[in-house]
Structure 1
């Protein structure tokens, strides 16, 4: 990538852009130079920090055109999904912050109200912006404010059902909402489904407008002899529209359609947006783009288009970090092995076949793996249908995204006692993607679902074991959750008590109940406490919902119980253990450590865990203080055996 500069002054234009107002003073040639500079800038910065590269390379001209045509922040520009907002950040005065992109104290990887008045909505979950837009436009109409609302919908977001619910309402209101469909044919990977096929048809029919113009001309010359003839001619026109291109489905909703437009042609994009702006009602501008546009390694990466790489080499696009065994890879391998053994096992993903590991099953058994698009609710209920049909579906999604399908898991799957396994990748604190992507709610939210069992593996061996146990369950749903990143060394049990693994046998002072990825921290804590003269037992329940009853006897034999988890404290495993002990008449002092309620800012997992007091040093210090306040002997009423 070469540095670009203004052909007249020799200066970099990007350094002169402090607000959208600065864009409007550029002529067409300068704007094109700026687009090239932005691409160079993005590649150089994201290569050092990691981030969402491919989506932002594809939306450069769209973003420039938006800010040249509309007046942000008076006009409200919303991004769906939020990871395509880097260019927006640059042109709203934040390009100097990209050295700390997605790092503690630096720019977030998504829109952030704390960063700029130009950022409206923060949550990065797809398919939501049109609903925000409908509400915003109605609010401005009621308040008598003349403001445009401009949602940018891309990366497969239109595969989500909320978009279509919102479109129906936007059409009914007829407020000035200009919807930009950034159609790159992809989400993380190529977008699938009927809508994707429709948009693909549009891309492949550039002669549509000529045909439509001919129809308009013919109808214009035809005398109207009564309503029947007019209706017949209108039906012919509509039929041709439906046959040539499916954009009629938008117009049938009552939303005008502009396009398809070359999303990398800045002048064409501006012209289309000005036309849409002048209409005064809801309009869809269909922009065809290419994910990763302008950077050859991203364009050549057909599977992912460098969607969200970590740090990489600018020349090759290859990652610079050393490779290691990832949690997702362990799951993907075990899923295929189980599928080899069981013909009833099928996989489902919601637009993330690669990131969740389902892609490996797709390659070997394409007829047994389904990508439903960004539609987690549909994925859950479709899995219920597959289970009723005699199969065992494995639904693999990020932990944060299963929140969207709570009702479906509760009433469509669990109430029917269906054997569906949900595999939750990126559980716990995941780091630089920030609070919308932290998978900290699953154990609290889904812990209330009757009959649902939740497993939290601590290493590769326990992930394989617990996944197999999950797919062996026939009388209800299961969840297997694991974090992101590299898998730690296997941590074998020294003993077992029923289904509970004992990791450290040490005595009766404190029982540490470690949940999943926190097991290694708990073992470290035990070593620190032992060095201070305390006796410690560390156990991994493995299945944390329902909590194994064997913990009752283990707890009763200790002076204190401490639970350590990387999920929310409120309603978490600690609460469940406390309830189990109370219900069985055991009143050992219990302390629960986990993620405090709130939306915690982005940073590395290590930085955030330290802030939350969940490092081994922090936990050991807290436990030491609690133990010092306790009586020496175990109360007699706690000495029970289960």
Structure 2
């Protein structure tokens, strides 16, 4: 049953909140939190971060004249309450579903989303861009960036703050300090802020200041309060931000509406230099199961509101690819003390939380700092260690310069485990691993693997362990494997060698990665239409198995490549090789099936792959197109089995 929300029901846009008094704002926050809990229990999605910023969201939209004033949310995990308040409540239960609302801020979705965000630490840089544009146009609107303390481990945030002193107009940065990003944050800055806010010295200072103020005459109490604020800034790190050119305010309780509103109003009026408001919040605030969970229920599937229990399938399921990677790496690490693992603030997302439990001294979480993660791994490799750098494909893009200059040029044996390769369903285009085949495969000396199932992933891990003279990478998707048996200890593959999994004579399907199962289904469908089909698993995008490729070209009329990646990837590598060896001169018909040249919106993965033409039916269409056969009248065409 939906929650009772009489005040929220009156809010069609943020403007409707601007006449509310303090009591009404608090009630609105309570109703907004209840609404968000009910929504995410039905849709799943990012949860804990949004619960933590309910009061902040209400206060920001109450104080600032959005959308004329620019409000930028870093990452977007915490933007669900913002969406509900900004005219999207009627669609909020379509969150992360096909044709529904995005799980992140999105410019095409609302004028209240001036900047799309799904990767961390971009908000301050974008806000500075809006400030410069505003100043160039002679406008006087305000600009606000909300950034979490977890994002403060990313160097981009400091690059932007260093540049912020150049702005001549109003800019407010809200540092949302909840001592959490997805996992507890790491690094000196996060620990520094948490330690100072909670430490005995700071608490003693506040208690002493309040005690002294109570015995002073009233005219001196205000002076004492200001002195306490100044000292608080000195103790809690305000001087650090002051040195960067910011006017520091805080720390303040991010759930105290009586404090938030007047402080934000004051910050709004400061125009001579940028302002940083340090807000302390609690991730998962107001929902007991989230408050007690280790990750504050950062992301959830559908759940029961009363118990907090998330929906689980009763049927046994194959293991997740992420877990298979972690378990295989653990097996090899037991035998080889040089194996170490690195992640960038995603221990559970990459499976390295499992590795870390067994090998805590050989596990490194560097925070949201992919560039640093890559070069850190390069340093380990340069001194004889065997680093596995486990980063989502989409996040590795942020460290690509380091992959090129610090790893590939020096030919260092860093092993890249690229999780979430291909399409990722509800997380949409910002999290899809669409481009790694192209950008990793283009690097001289790189070995690039794409296992077809969880057993092949085990072999890929073993292969990476054995490569000690150059960099390597292997990609694997989000979600479950196929249920095949996994060896007790997989053996390394022969570098650059694929395999034939089905023999035929007319059409050859050369698959890279986990579309192999759909390729085999396509072969069955084509066989029912009278075509004799070979299916091969490339295993390697680089180096290519030239011998296998030329055999397929020589013995078949048509060759179809299949990959879960963008144009310029595996299919392009195949065409290059065929052209270099003259195979295209003999009339071979070739089709390269790739992800479409668009950023696909979120939906169920199976629907997205069908839209991309990378399901069995799409592969059949590609093969028939290559053969010059109409899809409807295909029976009877081509050489028979």
- Normalization by structure 2: what TM-score? 0.90
1:32 aligns with 2:20: no
In the alignment, the residues of structure 2 paired with residue 238 and residue 292 of structure 1 have an alpha-carbon distance, to the nearest angstrom, of: 28
1:443 aligns with 2:434: no
C-alpha distance after superposition, 1:578-598 (max 9, x if no partner)? 111111121122100011222
Pairwise CA distance, 1:211: 8.1
- Normalization by structure 1: what TM-score? 0.90
Cα 1:175/1:307, change in 2 over 3 Å: same
Pairwise CA distance, 1:448: 1.1
User: 5 Å matches for 1:75-90?
Assistant: 75-90=69-84
Match of 2:224 in 1: none
Pairwise CA distance, 1:315: 2.4
Match of 2:308 in 1: 317
Match of 1:223 in 2: none
| Contact 1:492-1:503 at 8 Å conserved across structures | no
| Contact 2:71-2:144 at 8 Å conserved across structures | yes
* SS in structure 2 of the partner of residue 444 of structure 1: helix
In the alignment, the residues of structure 2 paired with residue 633 and residue 3 of structure 1 have an alpha-carbon distance, to the nearest angstrom, of: 64
In the alignment, the residues of structure 1 paired with residue 99 and residue 159 of structure 2 have an alpha-carbon distance, to the nearest angstrom, of: 37
Pairwise CA distance, 1:517: 1.1
Match of 1:221 in 2: none
Match of 1:560 in 2: 558
* SS in structure 1 of the partner of residue 594 of structure 2: strand
Gaps of 5+ in 2: 213-227, 488-492, 631-636
In the alignment, the residues of structure 2 paired with residue 497 and residue 417 of structure 1 have an alpha-carbon distance, to the nearest angstrom, of: 16
Pairwise CA distance, 1:201: 2.6
1:583 aligns with 2:585: no
Pairwise CA distance, 1:55: 0.6
Pairwise CA distance, 1:238: 14
* SS in structure 2 of the partner of residue 407 of structure 1: helix
Among residues 51, 74, 82, which one is paired with 2:45 in the alignment? 51
Cα 1:311/1:238, change in 2 over 3 Å: closer
In the alignment, the residues of structure 2 paired with residue 4 and residue 30 of structure 1 have an alpha-carbon distance, to the nearest angstrom, of: 15
User: 5 Å matches for 1:534-573?
Assistant: 534-550=531-547, 551-568=549-566, 570-573=567-570
Among residues 361, 368, 376, which one is paired with 1:367 in the alignment? 361
* SS in structure 2 of the partner of residue 563 of structure 1: strand
Pairwise CA distance, 1:309: 1.0
Match of 1:600 in 2: 600
Pairwise CA distance, 1:4: 4.4
1:177 aligns with 2:171: yes
Pairwise CA distance, 1:95: 1.1
Match of 1:257 in 2: 248
Greater Cα offset, 363-372 or 29-38 = 29-38
Greater Cα offset, 50-59 or 172-181 = 172-181
Pairwise CA distance, 1:213: 11
Match of 1:621 in 2: 621
In the alignment, the residues of structure 2 paired with residue 368 and residue 26 of structure 1 have an alpha-carbon distance, to the nearest angstrom, of: 54
Among residues 513, 517, 522, which one is paired with 1:520 in the alignment? 517
Pairwise CA distance, 1:609: 1.3
* SS in structure 1 of the partner of residue 541 of structure 2: strand
Pairwise CA distance, 1:246: 2.3
In the alignment, the residues of structure 1 paired with residue 589 and residue 485 of structure 2 have an alpha-carbon distance, to the nearest angstrom, of: 27
* SS in structure 2 of the partner of residue 127 of structure 1: coil
Match of 1:300 in 2: 292
Cα 1:496/1:591, change in 2 over 3 Å: farther
Match of 1:504 in 2: 502
In the alignment, the residues of structure 2 paired with residue 154 and residue 242 of structure 1 have an alpha-carbon distance, to the nearest angstrom, of: 19
C-alpha distance after superposition, 1:425-458 (max 9, x if no partner)? 1110111111111111111122211111111111
Match of 2:225 in 1: none
Match of 1:283 in 2: 275
C-alpha distance after superposition, 1:204-262 (max 9, x if no partner)? 124556889999xxxxxxxxxxxxxxxxxxxxx99977973322110011101111011
| Contact 2:95-2:101 at 8 Å conserved across structures | yes
Greater Cα offset, 241-250 or 120-129 = 241-250
Pairwise CA distance, 1:71: 0.6
In the alignment, the residues of structure 1 paired with residue 311 and residue 211 of structure 2 have an alpha-carbon distance, to the nearest angstrom, of: 55
C-alpha distance after superposition, 1:389-418 (max 9, x if no partner)? 211111111110111111100110011111
Among residues 461, 469, 491, which one is paired with 1:467 in the alignment? 461
| Contact 1:151-1:178 at 8 Å conserved across structures | yes
User: 5 Å matches for 1:407-486?
Assistant: 407-486=401-480
| Contact 2:56-2:255 at 8 Å conserved across structures | yes
| Contact 2:447-2:471 at 8 Å conserved across structures | yes
Q: What is the aligned length?
A: 603
Match of 2:57 in 1: 63
Cα 1:147/1:417, change in 2 over 3 Å: same
